[in-house]
Amino acid sequence: MLRRVRLAVGTQPPGVGVPRDYRGVGARPADDPVGLFVERLTDYRASAYRCGADEVGGAIARILGERGRTRICVPHGLPARWTAPGWQVIGGGAPPDPVALDAFDGVVSGCALAIALTGTIVLDSGPGQGWRAVTLVPDYHLVVVRAEQIVPAVPDAVARLDATRPMTWISGPSATSDIEFDRVEGVHGPRTLDVLVVAEGR
């Protein structure tokens, strides 16, 4: 089959380079990437919170308490100071059981980075992020994003990410409007997404 394709294509001139000058199209100056990221999150119906670097554990406990989430799982590698006794750490070599994950009230994780312009959070299964199923099966997800992890736009994110890693790109709670244009949430992942943005000086 490939031989037939090569014969049909024949000798072709080198491909033309694709212009990459779209970075600023439709974007306002990223003088406040954290503020822009939070604004985009709320556009997607996610809830955004802010705290200082030494307040993460208390902020997580407060958010979970307000949500009434008590049975929590966390991926291996999440900082212990962010967790509470009784939470189950999911890790190791074997993939987690989706049925067992579904029994949790929610998951708390970190992220690889976030994108201000699109309000997107990227997970790459690194420490504190774990198996993709851990953050896709539970109906609630609380993500901790450090301010220094927020990049201005998608090209900046692509330049920093390792394309060989399994990635999940999250823009708001899971939802689809494919069926009769009615928004249905919780189809492909958590129905509720909370994001805790951590920055010095808040």
Note down the domain range covering 150. Answer: 31-198
Asked whether residue 7 is assigned to any structural domain, the reply reads no
Q: Which pLDDT does position 30 carry in this prediction? A: 59
Asked whether residue 1 is assigned to any structural domain, the reply reads no
Q: Which pLDDT does position 180 carry in this prediction? A: 65
Q: What is the pLDDT along the chain (202 residues), one digit of tens a residue?
A: 888 888 887 777 777 777 766 655 455 545 789 999 999 999 888 999 999 999 999 999 999 999 999 999 999 999 999 999 999 999 867 788 999 999 999 999 999 999 999 999 999 999 999 999 999 999 999 999 999 999 999 999 999 999 999 999 998 775 555 666 665 555 566 889 999 999 975 5
Cα of first residue to Cα of last residue in the chain, in angstroms, is: 59
Q: Return the closest-CA partner of residue 190 out of 32, 44, 14, 18.
A: 44
C-alpha count within 13 angstroms, C-beta hemisphere, residue 131: 16
Number of domains in the chain: 1
Task: Please enumerate in sequence order all residues whose Cβ is within 8 A of that of 182, keeping only pairs 6 or more positions apart, or say none.
Answer: none
Q: What is the CATH number of the domain that holds 78?
A: 3.40.50.10420
Asked whether residue 25 is assigned to any structural domain, the reply reads no
Give, in order, the Cα–Cα distances in Å from 65 to each of 57, 61, 146: 12, 6, 22
Give, in order, the Cα–Cα distances in Å from 4 to each of 13, 14, 82, 200: 19, 20, 58, 60
Asked whether residue 45 is assigned to any structural domain, the reply reads yes
Asked whether residue 19 is assigned to any structural domain, the reply reads no
Beta bridge partners of 143: 109, 195
Token pair 């896709």 is found at 136
Asked whether residue 113 is assigned to any structural domain, the reply reads yes
* Strands (E) located in 76-153: 88-90, 106-109, 113-115, 120-123, 140-146, 150-151
Asked whether residue 172 is assigned to any structural domain, the reply reads yes
Q: Which pLDDT does position 179 carry in this prediction? A: 63
Asked whether residue 95 is assigned to any structural domain, the reply reads yes
